[in-house]
Amino acid sequence: MRGLIIDKDSKGTIAVYWAITAALVILAALFIHSPWFLIPVLAVLVAFAFFVFWFHRVPDREIPEGDENLVTSVADGEVVVVERVYEGEYFKGDCVQVSVYMDFFDVHTNFWPMSGEISYYKYHPGKYMLAFLPKSSEKNEHSSTAIRNSHGEVFFKQIAGTFARRIVCYSKEGMRVERGHQCGIIKFGSRIDIFLPLDAEILVKEGDFTKALITPIARLR
């Protein structure tokens, strides 16, 4: 087992929040003279600083082997959508959408759902609606990635939410990726939409909770 690993692209974010917290601690110590009030305030500030650090962790999970037709979850969270939809950006046709919603307490590090080659990538600026709303898939800031291998293709979106205003995505068209390795991170509440071919065997249902790398989402035919 390795020690706690923090996302490499989040260290600056953590430093900013810690600097703000340190300033608030100093101000509280200077202006709050009652220990009955000061101690709880300091406890909340320290807890918040720890939460920011813990939030940006990269979980230590075993990388799955074999079954290259298996699609694993990109993120931790609750499955909020499993339905047939028309996908107009990449597949340009009907497919199955599986959406995973991440709340504040879920791991927000994202992982490649399968091994293959990045066949498409695009970043879309946009709004910051609540991530669980259906329109957020198209209206909110998001990045779009398609992966292709000998078993088929998977298309997924990293979608920002009301508080998640930074998406980090490592996708580059033509690059080779391996399932189980990190593909990015979305900060503070967000969602993943995964689009699968109609003939894929869907292995989750609405209300299920997924873990990135561990939970199988679908099996390509």
Give burial (CB, 10 Å; 0-12/13-18/19+) of 162. Answer: middle
Is 190 among the residues known to form the active site?
A: yes
Q: Count CB-CB contacts under 10 A for residue 11.
A: 11
Amino acid letter, residue 120: Y
Distance CA(41)–CA(20), nearest Å, equals: 14
Reading the block at residue 119, the tokens are 């066949």
Catalytic option among 10, 73, 99, 190:
190
The continuous run of DSSP H or E covering 152 comes out as strand 152-160
In three-state secondary structure terms, 97 is strand
| DSSP per-residue letters across 132-169 | TSTTHHHHB-EEEEEEEETTEEEEEEEEE-SS---EEE
Q: What is the helix, strand, coil percentage profile of the chain, to 5?
A: 20, 40, 40
Which residues, listed in sequence order, are joined to residue 153 by a DSSP beta bridge? Answer: 148
Contact 100, 79 (CB under 8 A): yes
Catalytically annotated residues: 190
